[in-house]
Structure 1
Amino acid sequence: MFGNVPRELPQQIALVLLPRFSFLPFTGLIESFRLANRLSGQELYRWKLVSTDGQPVAASNGLELVVAGDLSVAETCGTVIICGGIDVHLIKDKGLDGWLRKADRRGADIGAICTGSYVLAKAGLLEGHRCTIHWENLAGFCEDFPEIEVTTELFEIDRNRFTCSGGTAAIDMMLNVIARQHGHELAAAVADQFMHERIRDQHDRQRISLPARLGVRHPKLLAVIGTMEQNLEEPLSRSELAKGADLSTRQLERLFRKYLNRSPARYYLELRLNKARLLLLQTNMSVIDVALACGFVSASHFSKCYRDFFGRTPRKERGLPLKGEPEPGEEDIEALH
């Protein structure tokens, strides 16, 4: 199991860099390894950077890293970490899939940070395992892999699979692993070097709380917004939302106008459209399927709402030609209205 005391030191780790990988979680891993080595006074971790073709890889921030070689140079590594980032769901690399399955057969611990979970899922390595992914990619991942148990945890360690939601969560995952393998005192010392005042566990939130995110602390308003976020595919009516928060519809309207400067219907629509954008960018779902997944029953109305909000149609969002896209204007029976 990943996180157990390694059989021998240093622990050999291969970091597979994918094009446009996220730099922050990657750096969090590397610096955790480096500081653990430095503060322990011994080489606990040894890592190498690899790419699928042995060529340098540019991160999403444009920085390009030289690697030790292609996947073949990592054949003896007992731990493999896929470093994902932007548009990983578009990667189709049978060579990488096969190499990962081979690493699994030889008993390697295999994991991913940020959107690298997509690669493990496509290779069939997450079946029967819990995993997590960055909150922004969660809806798309669930649509593409409905049979996989995906959570909203900061990170998941399930036997010899481990996944991390990305960002600074990579630091917390490694601090927890360091604590398991080499003691809490060393993990705390590494956290101190980071000026990371608390080692979060896997159950901490990925996102900041609703009050912090919105700058609002009215409990009934927050309760309604939480209910909206949980019911995007089948939107609730205004009266249902009000009743659930023990409010009248007029009180509900006033709360949204006062604190968010928009109607409940408008706020709900924006939530659904933002989810739709993520699905368009992160999945191969058709426009109509995206519309249905976000509570619209008409592709034409969805297209009109999307264009009004984002300034472009759903097809143009994907860079597709406009041919065949339904024209806006058809009536849409929305549950909200």
Structure 2
Amino acid sequence: MVYDAFVLMSFGGPEKPDDVMPFLRNVTRGRGIPESRLADVAEHYMHFGGVSPINEQNRSLLAAVSSDFSANGIDLPTYWGNRNWQPMIEDTVAQMRDDGITHALGFATSAYGGYSSCRQYWEDIDRARQAVGKGAPMISKLRQFWDHPGFVAPHTDAVRDALGTLDPARRATTRLVFTAHSIPVSMARTAGPEGGRYNAQLEETARLVHAGAAPDLSWDLVWQSRSGPPQVPWLEPDVNDHLSALAEQGVTDVVVSPIGFVSDHLEVIWDLDNEAAEMAKKLGLGYARAATPGTDPRFVAMVRELVQERTSDAPRRRLGTLPVWDACPVGCCTPPQRRGA
């Protein structure tokens, strides 16, 4: 197969206050979320001037990937398209068509399987190609990378660095807390033909990071950033509830590692650097939040290696044992039931 471009695909985020509510409406379209709830969430963005850091982080990542491609003999023009805010993937696909691109490789900024983290990107691609119409390029999505060394190693070093900021005299009562975005329980059960793909991959990443960073400490996988109506069950426990439970068990210090994320975007810096940090302070817990990969050179090189797997039959570098594939099976990660508006 011949590929003639690379496209970075991500969630997108507002870049000025006037963007916030339209962005949130895009995110929640078809879910029947009331405007009052969106206004509450908008306050999180306004706390940071109405700007999400995710777009700037993606610009930095794309620049680093482009430079790495050039340094390693990969001659692919690079593009970027978002699901929920400019540059929208539809506009990017139109630009690629105008540039004569016929078949691109797509990299989604999510390491894991699941509907919103994987399958929905395939739907984004299909929607964009249909919108562009005749001449729209094909886009083949690169595989999930939850256990790639270029993703695991930066998280591992970040946990080790965060531990170094805590009191070593209390290491015996220190705990590692890994976090990821919560999803509805029903969605978690259908994340793959056998169910539970999202959870299983996250647990494997947590085990790998734990083994490399602090095998003497206990760890937990918990959830953050829940949304949706309260009557719909989502994965639990929430990170804040879990911190309270740990304090009651005699834990004195925690390192919180957001292994569900590739960069420090708003859900990391709001949910963990504000809400969870404040909860830890209230509970008297020592608290350190581990960094995400961002533009770590190992993560950037990982993107190139995923491309080389497709373009030159390079071996797959993996640390885990769960199955992975390039094209997802039929029925994988079915979408959630949407509530009417």
For the criterion TM > 0.5, the same-fold answer is no
* TM-score normalised by structure 2 residue count: 0.30
Tell me which structure has the larger Cα radius of gyration: 1
The TM-score with structure 1 as length reference comes to 0.31
Return the structure number with greater relative CO, CA threshold 8 A, min gap 6: 2
